[in-house]
Structure formats: structure tokens, C-alpha cells
Amino acid sequence: MNLLHGLFSVLFIVEFSELQGKHGFFSQALFKGEVIENMSQAKFVAGILAPTNHPNDANTIMMSTCTAFILSKTEIITNAHCVDDVPYVYVVAGTKDVSDVNSKIIIEVEKENIACHPHYSHLIAGAFDIAKITLKTPLEFSDTVGSIGIVDKDYKLNDPSEVVTAYGYGVLNNIRPILRRCDANYVSDVERANTFNPSQTLCFTTGEATNDGKIITHGDSGGPVVSKTNGKIVGITMGMNGTTDGRGSFLPITLFLDFIHDPKSVKPISPPLTPNEAKFIADVTVPAKFLTAYKNVYADADEDVQLKFNAIILSETEILTCAHNVFGAPYVYITANKLSSNATKLKVTEDQIEIHEKYALSGFAFDIAKITLKEPLEFNDNVGSIDLVHKDYKMNDPSEMVTVYGDTVLDGTKRPRRYDTKYLDGAICKPKVGAVFDANHLMCYTLDGSMGTPFTFGGPMISKKNNKLVGMTICHSRGKPVVFQPIAPLFDWIRSPNVRRNQRRRI
């Protein structure tokens, strides 16, 4: 207990407004609301204290504060950013003052008993920001410590008049975190604005702004949002940098039920690629107004409106991409070493772009283009090439694993990633993709929706068996397999594409 006294005694050496970082420093609290005097009214709310260095002194340990809620005697839920990458945390229960060193229930939890959502990244604000803490020593339930239920997966927040109650350990006037609650209405998808992650977060509003326009400040990340209709958890309070206009953000709990019930059941996603891992991937940047495939959308745009696609580096002077990525453009830009601050950007004119002579806008087959650079790329650790499979290579083993590279949109953020998957033959793809799919020349692969939405047009597919280029991603439609062009049948064209140059025209 002396250690706890020592740690808690430095908890408020600096004002909470000075704390910045990813371990709860941006955690939020309900600044205005009813102070909980009787813990029997909020016995399912717990506090989280996580160690971190003083922002101005690496040798001084601080304890950042968050809120959590109790699902059972051994299960605690909070935000991932409150507990990510810390050696231990303290769970405090049964008290309105989370900094009270005399609290009867203060449980230390080691890192191995803290599970952050495997898709969580502190680099993407608000995405998958949930963690589950499992207690080795069960809580002893009483009049001031208890649990709360959560809504089931079919629950819909579809009535903006529904009232919710948010609970949190608010920092009152930068002094200490006191438990409060605040009734609010949630904000529908149509009305919400400036959320951190539109695909996951909703908002609630008190209808009035306080504290210089903010209703939340330090301390309340991870707190429960409870329906006043059924008394169950519907969300987890969050807010990273604070919100204004009387709004607060929360994660709908229904999106995370699988993780809550069994954190190991959620598959991790690949981390963003490093510059070295992406060395054979380039970007093709094109003025949108010139692209024939997008003419109807961008006909009135100026040249500053540009689209970015993926491409594959075959050699110091050879770049491969989709035909529809460049078809109709008088010039494009090729960017190598795209993930580094030392990226190489080259302008490529129309005479350097070869389109397959059988390419047609009406379908996806032969959707391939080769770009020849006049100025060779300089290969290094972050810029390199990938070899083609030979023309006799057959993709006829559905158990074969391949790795798909390219930009993927996950929670509104586009990042280069790679995923291992299995390919599907054309006969399986056609009824799923539709009549425009040419089963004689194309194949497809599936991608778990939790991994994001592919935006990899022109991205490479590498065989895990021989580490060579076996395919190139062509297109993707929501809810359908991802279409790719096998490389082997186009081997001869890629090696000498100007046998018959396609006379492109702008339509």
C-alpha cells in the first residue's frame, strides 16, 4: 500500500491539461453532470489508473485516469488507448473518487491480463478503441460494486429521442477525477458531425455546450453509455481530443460483442507496411478529369483533382498497373519509395504508357498497362522490383496461399497493407461478380470485411510458394470478391507490350 500511496501522491503534481500521449492522456470525462454521491447508483462503474512518465520528466511516474465498466466479477471493459502498451494498471471499484488511496477495492492487473482489440492502433483515432481486462482475483460484489448487462447484437440505436446516460470520472477544475453522470440524446448518422471514425462512432449531446464549448475533458474515456430504456450498455465513451457544441463520442457496443465475449476470437489485421516491405509498390497519380473510366464523375474537375492508384515495379524502368488507372490521361506521376520522406516522383507522358490492345471499358479483362520510365529508378533498401512468374505457371491449386499488397481503406484511413488469402477460379467468381466478369481471363479472391476495403487497383499478388508476381488486383465492389488479373497469360505482352500499340482516344 505504500507504493500506491507514493504513486497516488504524485497523481496531481501537474494539471491534467499538461498530460499528452497515448496512454490515457487524451482520455475524456463528462465535465458537467450529476456527481454520484451514492455508489449503489453506479456500482457497475470502475476507474482505471495506468502508469506513465511525467511529460517533462521521464523519471517521474504519473498515473493517468480512465473510466471502465464491470461486466462480471472478473471482466472489465475500457478504451484500448487507456491501457495499451503499459506494464500494469490498477482497477478501482466502489468509489466516486478514483484517486482515493483509501478505496477498499484497488486491484493491480498485469499486462498479460489486458487484451486490446487486435485491430486497434493509436495512429487511427477512435478505431477499435476497446480493451478487456480479466481479473485473476474476482471482485466481491456488494451494494457499491456490481455488474451491468450489454445489449445484444440486434440492438439498434434508431430513435434520436432515446435518452442515454454517460458515466465518467471527470476532472473537476483540474483537481481530481470525480464520478459523474450525464443524461443525453444520441445523435443519428445523418446528424452527427466531426466524429473520429464515422464507420464506428456515434455521438451523444446534452443539448448545451459547457466549459468553453466542451462537455467532456480528461478522465472519462472507457466509461459506459447506458440506455435509460433498458438499463443496458449501448456504448463506450471516447473523445480523444475533446468535442464541442455539447457533443461527446461513443463506440456502439454491438460492434464489439465478439471481442468482448472472447478477445482471441477476433483475428488480427496486418500492420501497415514499412518502406522496405513496400519497395516494389509504386503510386500512380492521375488528374481525374482525363481518366476515361471516371469521366462522368470528374468531367468538370480541374487538374488539381487527382486520383491515386497502385502500381508494381518490375525493373528500374518498368512499371505495371491497371489500364483503367491511366487510360485517357496525357500524363501521370509515378511515385516510388512512397512510404518514405525520400519518395521519388516522376512525370510520365502519354508516349511512355502502353495499354493492352484488348482492353475495353465494358469489362475487366486485359485491364493492364505498362509504363516505361525515361529516367531509371535508383534501387535501394526501399525501392526494388518483383519478378514475374513464367508464362507456363498455372494457378490451379485452390489451397495455394498468396499475399495481396496494396492500399486498403480501414475506418476511413487508407494505408498500404498486405494480406494472405486464397484465390478462387473464374467459374466461382462469375456468378458473384456479375456479367461483366470474364471468367476466361480473370480470377478473384475474398477478403475478410474486418480487414478493410481494398483500394489496391494495380496492387500486386505474390505467391507464397515462389515469391513471384502471380496477379494484379483490378477492381472491388462492396460485398463481392476482389477481381484480379493472372499474370502468366500476359507474360509475353508484358515483356514486349508494343507489338501492337493501342491507339487510345479520349471519349
- Give yes or no on whether 2-29+39-134 and 401-488 have one common fold: yes
Domain spanning 2-29+39-134: CATH 3.20.20.70: no
Of the candidates 164, 165, 169, 186, the residue with the CA atom closest to the CA atom of residue 220: 169
Task: Return the half-sphere exposure (C-beta side, CA atoms, 13 A cut-off) of residue 368.
Answer: 30
Res 356 pLDDT > 70? yes
Question: How far, CA to CA in Å, does 39 sit from each of 7, 47, 183, 218, 503?
Answer: 24, 13, 17, 21, 77
Which pLDDT band, with edges at 50, 70 and 90, does 198 fall under?
very low
Number of H helices, E strands in the chain: 6, 30
Dihedral over Cα of 26, 30, 36, 42: its sign? negative
Which has the higher per-residue pLDDT, 218 or 79? 79
Res 382 pLDDT > 70? yes
Q: Quick one: 450 exposed, middle or buried, by C-beta within 10 A (0-12, 13-18, 19+)? A: middle
* DSSP secondary structure letters along 430-465: HHHH-TT--TTT-EEE---GGG-EE--TT-EEEETT
- Using one digit for the tens of pLDDT, what is the confidence trace for 441-467? 999 888 766 666 766 799 999 999 999
Map residue 87 onto helix, strand or coil.
coil
DSSP character at residue 269:
P
Which pLDDT band, with edges at 50, 70 and 90, does 432 fall under?
confident
Q: What is the CATH number of domain 401-488?
A: 2.40.10.10
Res 500 pLDDT > 60? no
Element (H, E) at 311: strand 306-313
Please state which of the ranges 50-54, 229-233, 373-377 shows the lowest mean pLDDT. Answer: 50-54
Q: Give the mean pLDDT of 190-201.
A: 49
CATH H-level, domain 163-255: superfamily? Trypsin-like serine proteases (2.40.10.10)
Distance between CA atoms of 393 and 355, rounded to whole angstroms? 23
pLDDT number for residue 2: 34
pLDDT number for residue 348: 96
Which pLDDT band, with edges at 50, 70 and 90, does 175 fall under?
low
Amino acid type, 309: F
Distance between CA atoms of 68 and 80, rounded to whole angstroms? 11
Q: Give the mean pLDDT of 194-223.
A: 58
Please state which of the ranges 113-122, 275-284, 308-317, 404-413 shows the lowest mean pLDDT. Answer: 404-413
- Using one digit for the tens of pLDDT, what is the confidence trace for 227-245? 999 999 999 987 543 444 5
Cut 0.75: pTM above it: no
Count of beta carbons in the 10 Å neighbourhood of residue 142:
14
Range with top average pLDDT, 264-268, 408-412, 466-470, 481-485? 466-470
Answer CATH for 281-384 from 2.40.50.100, 3.40.50.2300, 2.40.10.10, 2.120.10.30: 2.40.10.10
Distance between CA atoms of 409 and 456, rounded to whole angstroms? 9
Distance between CA atoms of 81 and 120, rounded to whole angstroms? 9
Of the candidates 240, 206, 179, 138, the residue with the CA atom closest to the CA atom of residue 45: 179
Res 365 pLDDT > 70? yes
- β-pair type (75-78, 57-70): antiparallel
Domain limits, the chain:
2-29+39-134, 163-255, 281-384, 401-488
**Cell 470485411 sits on residue:** 449
**Cell 506513465 sits on residue:** 52
Q: Give the mean pLDDT of 95-118.
A: 88
Question: How far, CA to CA in Å, does 215 sit from each of 67, 99, 184, 304?
Answer: 16, 22, 11, 39
